């Protein structure tokens, strides 16, 4: 697939350099989607596919009633939520994707005898088989790794009416612990090139030296020659800045033997480099051309960014030399309404909301991200931990963690059964296709793997230990370091060893990229440090084990540790801010996701997100925003005092019912409301999430007192307020700046307001518009307790993608134009077609005037 002779020398030099350091410094310059050659000779290959779904496997020749769809496509998300799935739905989110999907694309090619054609898939879920003109190209089991085939030899000689078939076997529909979707849910590219070309994923850009004055840009470029004869070519690269201005260039000449691959290294100096960072994500582009006799044979564009990263065991993380905390969230790959087939604009809205809340990093859990998602992270300034696998040698239980012995039935058999044969290929494909993204700053080889190797769990002393009665989350290991080590040495080993597998995965990763640290999310770090697992890692990620931050640093002072899966609570961030050696965290999760259900029907999501599936903010979002942002922020939350976490003491003060409870708060935020609608005289707990030094609360302009943030150990302002209709207003001061937030009583909704996130889109089949429908009173104040059914009508060139009110218990179908609000609002999502023109969205609620909003679709 690629020439490695230059890379092996580079890797050896990097490994030698790092071996003498206790701090890890990784310097990288990277690209976005470097399959830019896909644009040559072909229109969008994702349009006008035929699709057929069957519960049983069928012969393609027997299929008659194909339907026409565009890619990306997820057939599962169009289903009704189905309560009869019972425990099988713990993974799927009550959406049944069981069956087989058949995709067919008929296309013409413009290739000739001097050209080669690839078909590239960014992600197909899963167990896919690919045929071209009746010839099977191969099988690909993993649903998250990209792959491609050289289909040149199988194309029709006249280039006409080629038929591409993809069969997706999702009969194992509960094969993961979360909602996966089903089908060709990421984009497909048809790539036609000269036979003398830079292959797919054929560039790797690093920066051996970076300073404020200059950066050395090193391009490792693969050259593939599919001609029979040796060819001598010129390879020229120009670097272009964000304004499209050429800033530097280099050229080389190379001879490549027939039917072989070779590679070259080009080094280019950039003066006054504009560094890529989370605040200023500056991007460049390397444009490389292959020429022969003055004729350009191939052009290959590689977007990239210049930046340095460093992890120090004592002082944490540095980006471009600046010490900073990683303010991260974990994200699954589904997006509510659209399932796994997520348009770029949907991710952009979601990521922007997280960015506004102070988030600067994403852990894509627990699988590699799509190229479009990574492009957005490059453009918007997010650090990314790209994770390879959730299963290794042994399977996980898909219905409920740690019941692996019960996860052997057909529908739950997942990637574990392919791992031995496919892990290296999948890991390789992911790294080659992703390693040029500046956003990626860590490779994660696995997530919470330890409990699938039983001796690791037993060695810690937490489990199967009648002498221990603590709480796993908050207790240190009952066994000492020496006892854990002894048990790992003496307990029976299984067929596979976690340390050996970790070393294997880390070795494969370092063979391809040494510019980023290798990490894993460890649920049992006290065992992982001693099992050989941590020895394979540059950074040991602690999963829900903040109580071990000091333990790890004291016992393993030469190992970088950080939080990689943690709770969206104040106590988590407090423990990080108090410890310079902890670089930061990834909270579980940034956004609610479908599947991994722990509550009975009709809960359809794992509700641990800062945002709902509709992208609506929760209390935890506002709490983290106050911790992650310097700008002043106030959010008002209310609740009946009996239902709240607070009480009124004998002196009339509001206090926590359990003063220690906040220190052990788990995934879901406490039950609070955003409204001011209660019964007259009812005692209400008013909570303010704010970073203001002091706040004064008013009810109808009557002061209820001024309080200071330092008075509240849990970082939450509190007032006990007897309810009365009116306006509740908070006035806060931070660094001399005053801000105001208010809620008002709204007894009944009188109108509906539609708010689109954009008013213009391009008629490209991709752009989307999010429209929030909010019930209001006659003055426009939001009504949050008077829910109504809304019917939407779309006029003009737009496609309905669906509706979602974001409520964890809403099992209303996504793909419909009717939805009942929750907390007075819901979300409508529409998408551009290929036609330009005026779009009008009309919303109807019984008893109210219809309202509409206009969108322009541009050519």
Apex CA 130: angle with CA 124 and CA 131, to 5°?
155
Radius of gyration of the chain, Cα coordinates, nearest whole angstrom: 28
- For residue 530, the SS3 value is coil
- Determine the Cα–Cα distance for residues 792 and 851; give it in Å rounded to an integer: 10
Q: What are the structure tokens assigned to 242, written together?
A: 């964000």
What does the alpha-carbon distance between residue 372 and residue 370 come to, in Å, rounded to a whole number?
Answer: 5
From the centroid of its chain, how far is CA 366?
9
Handedness of CA 318, 320, 324, 326 (dihedral sign): negative
C-alpha to C-alpha distance for 531 and 515, rounded to whole angstroms:
26
Residue 105's H or E segment, with its range, is: strand 99-107
Contacts of 113 (CB under 8 A, 6+ apart): none
Length of the chain: 859
Amino acid 9: pLDDT: 24
In Å, how far are 134, 170, 364, 400, 507 from 453, measured between CA atoms? 43, 27, 24, 16, 21
C-alpha to C-alpha distance for 608 and 362, rounded to whole angstroms: 15
Phi, psi of 492 (to 5 degrees): -60, 135
Cα(174)–Cα(170) distance, rounded to whole angstroms? 9
| Cα 801 to Cα 814: distance, rounded to the nearest angstrom | 8
The C-alpha torsion from 696 through 699 and 703 to 707, rounded to 10°, is -30
Q: In a 10 Å sphere around its CB, with 0-12 CB exposed, 13-18 middle and 19+ buried, how is residue 43 labelled?
A: exposed
Cα torsion through 39, 40, 42, 44, rounded to 10: 0
- Distance, in Å, from the CA atom of 304 to the CA atom of 273, rounded to the nearest integer, reads 12
pLDDT profile of the chain (859 residues), mean per 10: 28 32 40 40 82 97 96 96 87 91 95 92 98 98 98 95 98 94 97 96 94 95 96 96 95 96 96 97 97 94 96 97 98 96 98 98 97 98 98 90 70 93 98 97 97 90 82 91 95 94 98 97 96 97 96 97 97 97 97 93 94 98 97 97 95 94 95 96 97 98 96 97 97 96 96 97 97 97 96 98 97 96 98 97 97 98
Coil, strand, or helix at residue 511? helix
Residue-by-residue DSSP string for 268-294: EEEES--BB-SSSB--EEEEEEEEETT
3 state SS of 64: coil
Kindly report, residue by residue over 204-245, the tens digit of the pLDDT: 999 989 999 999 999 999 999 999 999 999 999 999 999 999
Tell which residue, 265, 252, 254, has the closest CA to residue 218. 265
Question: Phi then psi for 207, rounded to 5 degrees?
Answer: -130, 100
pTM for the predicted model, two decimal places: 0.94
Distance CA 453, CA 457 (A): 7
CA distance to 53, 403, 416, per residue, from 413 (Å): 21, 14, 7
**pLDDT recorded at residue 43:** 62
Chain mean position to CA 352: 13
Q: Are strands 383-387 and 361-364 parallel, antiparallel or unpaired?
A: parallel
At residue 210, what are phi and psi to the nearest 5 degrees? -140, 130
Cα torsion at 155, 157, 158, 164 (round to 10°)? Answer: -20
Do 629 and 610 contact (CB within 8 A), yes or no?
Answer: no
525: CB partners within 8 A, 6+ apart: 534, 540, 542, 543, 545, 548, 552, 561
- The set of residues, in sequence order, having a beta carbon less than 8 Å from that of 463 and lying 6+ positions away, is 457
Give dist(CA 755, CA 793) in Å, integer: 15
Q: Which of 686, 657, 662 is nearest to 672 (CA)?
A: 686
Residue-wise pLDDT for 487-510, tens only, equals: 999 999 889 999 999 999 999 999
Phi/psi region, residue 455 (left: phi>0; alpha: psi -120 to 50; beta: rest), is: alpha
pLDDT digits (tens, 9 = 90+) for 767-780: 999 999 999 999 99
**Dmax of the chain from CA atoms?**
93
Q: Which secondary-structure segment (H or E) carries 30?
A: strand 24-31
Q: What are phi and psi of 120, to 5 degrees?
A: -120, 125
**Three-state DSSP class for residue 789:** strand
**What are phi and psi for residue 574, nearest 5 degrees?**
-60, -45
Report how far residue 248's alpha carbon sits from residue 246's, in angstroms, rounded to the nearest whole number: 6
CB-based contact 825:773 (threshold 8 Å): yes
Distance CA(355)–CA(373), nearest Å, equals 14
């Amino acid at each position: 697939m690629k020439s490695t002779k230059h890379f092996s020398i580079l890797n050896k030099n990097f490994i030698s350099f790092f071996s003498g350091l206790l701090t890890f410094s990784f310097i990288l310059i990277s690209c976005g989607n470097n399959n830019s050659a896909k644009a040559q000779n072909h229109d969008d290959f994702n349009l006008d596919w035929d699709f057929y779904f069957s519960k049983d496997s069928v012969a393609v020749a027997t299929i008659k009633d194909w339907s026409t769809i565009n890619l990306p496509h997820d057939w599962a998300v169009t289903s009704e939520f189905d309560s009869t799935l019972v425990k099988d739905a713990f993974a799927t989110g009550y959406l049944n994707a069981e069956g087989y999907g058949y995709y067919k694309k008929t296309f013409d090619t413009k290739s000739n005898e001097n050209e080669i054609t690839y078909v590239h898939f960014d992600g197909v879920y899963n167990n896919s088989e690919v045929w071209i003109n009746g010839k099977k190209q191969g099988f690909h089991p993993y649903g998250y790794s990209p792959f491609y085939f050289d289909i040149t030899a199988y194309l029709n000689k006249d280039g006409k009416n080629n038929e591409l078939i993809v069969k997706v076997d999702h009969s194992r529909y509960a094969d993961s612990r979360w909602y996966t979707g089903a089908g060709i849910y990421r984009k497909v590219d048809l790539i036609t090139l000269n036979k003398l070309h830079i292959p797919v994923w054929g560039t790797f850009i690093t920066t051996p030296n970076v300073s404020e004055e200059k950066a050395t840009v090193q391009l490792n470029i693969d050259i593939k020659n599919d001609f029979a004869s040796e060819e001598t070519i010129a390879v020229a690269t120009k670097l272009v800045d964000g304004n499209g201005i050429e800033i530097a260039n280099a050229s080389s000449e190379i001879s490549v033997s027939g039917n072989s691959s070779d590679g070259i290294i080009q080094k280019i100096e950039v003066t006054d480099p504009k560094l890529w960072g989370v605040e200023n994500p500056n991007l460049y582009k390397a444009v490389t051309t292959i020429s022969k006799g003055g004729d350009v044979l191939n052009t290959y564009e590689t977007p990239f960014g210049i930046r340095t990263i460093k992890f120090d065991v004592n002082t944490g993380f540095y980006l471009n030399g600046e010490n900073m905390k990683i303010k991260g969230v974990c994200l699954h790959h589904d997006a509510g309404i659209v399932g796994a087939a997520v348009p770029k604009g949907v991710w952009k809205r979601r990521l922007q909301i997280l960015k506004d809340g102070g988030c600067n990093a994403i852990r894509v859990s627990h699988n590699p991200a799509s190229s479009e998602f990574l492009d957005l992270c490059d453009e918007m300034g997010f650090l990314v931990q790209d994770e390879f696998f959730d299963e290794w040698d042994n399977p996980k239980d898909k219905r409920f963690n740690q019941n692996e012995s019960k996860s052997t039935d057909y529908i739950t058999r997942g990637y574990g059964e392919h791992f031995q044969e496919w892990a290296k290929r999948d890991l390789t494909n992911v790294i080659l296709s992703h390693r040029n993204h500046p956003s990626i700053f860590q490779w994660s080889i696995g997530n919470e793997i330890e409990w699938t190797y039983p001796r690791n769990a037993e060695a810690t002393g937490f489990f199967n230990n009648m002498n221990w009665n603590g709480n796993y989350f908050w207790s240190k290991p009952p066994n000492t370091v020496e006892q854990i080590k002894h048990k790992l040495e003496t307990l029976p080993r299984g067929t596979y060893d976690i340390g050996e597998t970790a070393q294997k995965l880390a070795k494969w990763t370092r063979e391809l990229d040494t510019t980023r640290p290798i990490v894993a999310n460890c649920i049992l770090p006290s065992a992982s440090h001693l099992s050989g697992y941590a020895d394979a890692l540059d950074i040991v990620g602690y999963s829900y084990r903040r109580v071990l931050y000091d333990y790890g640093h004291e016992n393993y002072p030469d190992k970088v540790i950080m939080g990689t899966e943690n709770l969206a609570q104040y106590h988590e961030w407090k423990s990080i801010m108090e410890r310079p050696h902890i670089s930061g965290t990834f909270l579980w999760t940034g956004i609610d996701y479908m599947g991994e259900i722990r509550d009975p029907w009709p809960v359809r999501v794992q509700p641990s997100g800062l945002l709902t599936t509709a992208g609506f903010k929760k209390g935890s979002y506002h709490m983290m925003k106050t911790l992650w942002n310097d700008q002043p922020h106030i959010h008002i939350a209310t609740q009946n005092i009996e239902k709240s976490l607070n009480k009124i003491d004998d002196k009339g003060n509001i206090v926590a019912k359990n003063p220690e409870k906040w220190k052990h708060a788990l995934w879901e935020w406490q039950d609070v409301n955003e409204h001011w609608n209660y019964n007259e005289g009812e005692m209400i707990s008013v909570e303010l999430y704010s970073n203001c030094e002091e706040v004064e609360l008013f009810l109808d302009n009557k002061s209820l007192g001024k309080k200071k943030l330092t008075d509240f150990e849990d970082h939450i302002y509190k007032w006990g307020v007897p309810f009365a209709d009116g306006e509740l207003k908070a006035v806060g001061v931070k660094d001399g700046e005053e801000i105001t937030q208010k809620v008002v009583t709204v007894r009944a909704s009188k109108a509906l307001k539609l708010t689109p996130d954009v008013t213009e889109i391009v008629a490209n089949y991709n752009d989307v518009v999010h429209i929030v429908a909010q019930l209001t009173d006659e003055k426009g104040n939001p009504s949050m307790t008077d829910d109504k059914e809304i019917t939407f009508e779309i006029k003009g060139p737009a496609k309905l993608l669906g509706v979602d009110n974001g409520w964890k218990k809403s099992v209303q179908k996504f793909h419909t134009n009717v939805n009942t609000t929750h907390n007075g609002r819901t979300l409508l999502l529409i998408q551009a077609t290929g036609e330009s023109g005026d779009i009008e969205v009309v919303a109807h609620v019984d008893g109210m005037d219809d309202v509409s909003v206009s969108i322009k679709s541009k050519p």
